[in-house]
Amino acid sequence: MMLDFERPILELEQRIGELRNLAGESRELQAEIARLEDALDGAKRRIFSNLTPYQRVQIARHPERPNFRSYRDALADDFYELAGDRLHGDDTAVRGGFAQIFGHDVVLVGHDKGADVESRVAGNFGMAHPEGCRKVNRLYELAGKFGLPLVLLVDTPGAFAGRQAEERGQAWAISADLMALAKVPVPVVSFIIGEGGSGGALAMCVADHVGMLENSYLSVIAPEACASIIFRDPSRAAEAAAALKLTASDLKGHGVADEIVPEPLGGAHRSPEKTIERVGESLERVLESFAGKNSETLLRNRHDRYRSIGAHAEAWRI
Amino acid sequence: MDGVFTKCDSCNQPIYEKDLRARFNVCPNCEHHYPLPATDRIRLLSDSGTFRERDYGLVTDDPLKFEGYGERLAKAKKKSGLNDAVMSGTCEVGGHHIALAALDFRFIGGSMGSVVGEKVARTIELGLSEELPLVIVSASGGARMFEGIYSLMQMAKTSVVLSRFMDGGKPYISVLTDPTFGGVTASFATSADIIIAEPGARIGFAGARVIEQTTKESLPEGFQTSEFQKEHGMVDRIVHRLALKGDLERVLGFLS
Ligand SMILES: [Zn+2]
């Protein structure tokens, strides 16, 4: 899949590919290829150093972007998956279990956007039902009970909005996850690897360390929905994305994210291995830094961090 | 609903404005519960003269300088006489001293931004430090979109504070009124010891219209009403507004 603003890049790549097939020993064509490669590099730099917030949202949603499965396969040794909420069913929009990451035993949880049409549909595109949220809650409890750090990979458009989700208490399930994260006495490391859609994302994102990939986002509402509600015009999604301040650098500025992991030029979907490697490096460093941390200190710091986020003032001071 | 007479949206019958007011916005004809301003909610629940308001002067900083938010705030302040969508403080209910917060739907749909999050958090903390039972009455369309990430993070803020309260041994009673949705339902409003809902209130995560648009599902009659939520095991009791004070007194009697 090609995003609109990637067109110049893909066209150059295609042209280079064609010439490569024809070039053989021709010096002239080799020179042309070299020239086009310079142009390609320039185009990538030009486009990717000036991404708008909405373009970043589109990159975050790219179907070829590395998702939970890619990280799990590359970073987790011996992933021991656990299933079910013990109440209703198993929701594969989220997956989790025990894993070894860089020698640390952890509980790894992530939204699973799937690998192909079938698994994407089966996992509801990473949009959890209440049973998914409750499975995650079980995993939080297990992590706390057995002293295993939580590694949470966030990549969801949001918790699912549907009839059955409401019948089974979607709001109740999300609230319970937030409450569980507030008190789980182990290090919580969240990484937003793609989409951070509202409450469904937050239910995996109250953490001691929040990392974000450069083109991931976290937002209270999808820009399209915000545009239709606030601007009464869904076509103003790009403006809404800018107004919502949902990019990694905005969120780092507002103290919501601790770290931004840069994506290779061209975006994570164009260089999955390199991206995963960078996230892995960060995870290794963060897990190392939390090793042996006293749980009371963790909980106090986590509390203080979220307690202090707000933009209020006493009227008489303004 | 201005003027002497008004027509009830629910039963279409003409009703006297003053009858509606005297019954705390419950239709005398069909018992439909209209949203109730926070000031009236506090008058309804607290023993006369016992409410001590806190943090009245908290206002939002408009952290994202969001287009149009300033005007919306000015309008809402004028309409409600409040600085934001919640009133909070302490009062007595049947002689039980409690910490109380009541959201106000008139103020940008009772949406939760920094001020609602902060005042709810302070009310919870007051309950914890003074060892008071906590009652929060919700009425909210959800997150205050104009505050973007700050709005989302109020869910985290109220949860980390509430988590401490819930370990403290005092009861938290959540009252859900029409409508309660989104970030409020998905945070402090549902992680309570006891959940009471007013009759016919719409309560849920996503609004019915959003669900219909995105899933094309047809929704059953009474979807997301208090009665629906009780049938699905999500709320403890449905209590008529005019019986709510007495009901709170009873449950507080058991728990304190
Ligand atoms: Zn009526």
Strands of the B172-180 sheet, one edge to the other: B52-54, B86-93, B96-103, B134-140, B172-180, B194-197, B237-238
* Residues in B touching A223 (Cβ below 8 Å): none
Residue A27 confidence (pLDDT): 87
Report the DSSP pairing between strands A209-213 and B52-54. Answer: unpaired
pLDDT averaged over chain A? 95
Average pLDDT over residues A176-190: 98
Residue B133 neighbours by CB distance under 10 Å: 21
Per the CB < 8 Å rule, is B205 touching A199?
yes
Per the CB < 8 Å rule, is A199 touching B151?
no
* Residues in B touching A162 (Cβ below 8 Å): 206, 211, 214-215, 217
Q: Which of B136, B152, B228 to mutate to test the interface with A (most CBs of A within 10 A)?
A: B152
pTM as predicted = 0.96
Q: Report the run of H or E that residue A122 belongs to, with start and end.
A: helix A117-122
The rounded Å distance from CA B201 to ligand 1 centre is 14
How open is the CA angle A167-B175-B107, to the nearest 5 degrees? Answer: 100
Question: Residue B95 and residue B245: Cα distance in Å, rounded?
Answer: 11
Question: Residue B130 and residue B132: Cα distance in Å, rounded?
Answer: 6
What are residue B48's phi and psi, to 5 degrees?
-50, 130
Per the CB < 8 Å rule, is A182 touching B115?
no
Report whether pLDDT(A318) > 70: no
CATH code that applies to domain A56-307: 3.90.226.10
User: Which pLDDT tens digit goes with each residue over A39-88?
Assistant: 999 999 999 998 999 999 999 999 999 999 999 999 999 999 999 999 99
Domain map of chain A by residue range?
4-50, 56-307
User: Which pLDDT tens digit goes with each residue over B14-31?
Assistant: 999 999 999 999 999 999
Report whether pLDDT(A315) > 80: no
Residue of B nearest to A244 (CA): B148
Pick from B63, B186, B217: which is nearest to A174 by CB? Answer: B186
Distances (CA, A) of A68 to A228, A230, B22, B201: 30, 33, 57, 39
Per the CB < 8 Å rule, is B159 touching A182?
yes
Beta bridge pairs of residue B86: B103
What percentage of chain B carries pLDDT values higher than 70?
99
Per the CB < 8 Å rule, is B149 touching A218?
yes
* Residues in B touching A88 (Cβ below 8 Å): none
Burial class of residue B22 in the structure, from the number of CB atoms within 10 Å of its CB (0-12 exposed, 13-18 middle, 19+ buried): exposed
Residues, chain B, total?
A: 256
Report whether pLDDT(B1) > 50: no
Residue of A nearest to B215 (CA): A162
User: Which pLDDT tens digit goes with each residue over B202-255?
Assistant: 999 999 999 998 899 889 999 999 999 999 999 999 999 999 999 999 999 999
Per the CB < 8 Å rule, is A311 touching B145?
no
Pick the closest to residue A219 from A243, A239, A236 (CA basis): A243
Residue A259 neighbours by CB distance under 10 Å: 14
- DSSP, collapsed to helix, strand or coil, labels residue B196 as strand
Per the CB < 8 Å rule, is A220 touching B163?
no
Pick from A172, A198, A311: which is nearest to B152 by CB? Answer: A198
Residue A26 confidence (pLDDT): 83
* Residues in A touching B190 (Cβ below 8 Å): 169, 171-172, 175-176
User: Which pLDDT tens digit goes with each residue over B155-174?
Assistant: 999 999 999 999 999 999 99
What percentage of chain A carries pLDDT values higher than 90?
91
Q: HSE-up of A84 (CA within 13 Å, CB side)?
A: 4
The rounded Å distance from CA B6 to ligand 1 centre is 10
Taking domain B35-255, whether its CATH number is 3.90.105.10 is answered by no
Question: Residue B245 and residue A53: Cα distance in Å, rounded?
Answer: 49
**Predicted complex ipTM:** 0.97
Domain map of chain B by residue range?
1-32, 35-255
The rounded Å distance from CA B38 to ligand 1 centre is 21
Average pLDDT over residues A242-271: 96
Strands (E), chain A: 76-82, 94-101, 104-111, 150-156, 188-197, 209-213, 217-219, 259-261, 312-314
- DSSP, collapsed to helix, strand or coil, labels residue B49 as coil
- What does R_g of chain B's alpha carbons equal in angstroms? 18
The rounded Å distance from CA B31 to ligand 1 centre is 6
What is the SS3 string spanning A76-112?
EEEEEEECCCCCCCCCCCEEEEEEEECCEEEEEEEEC
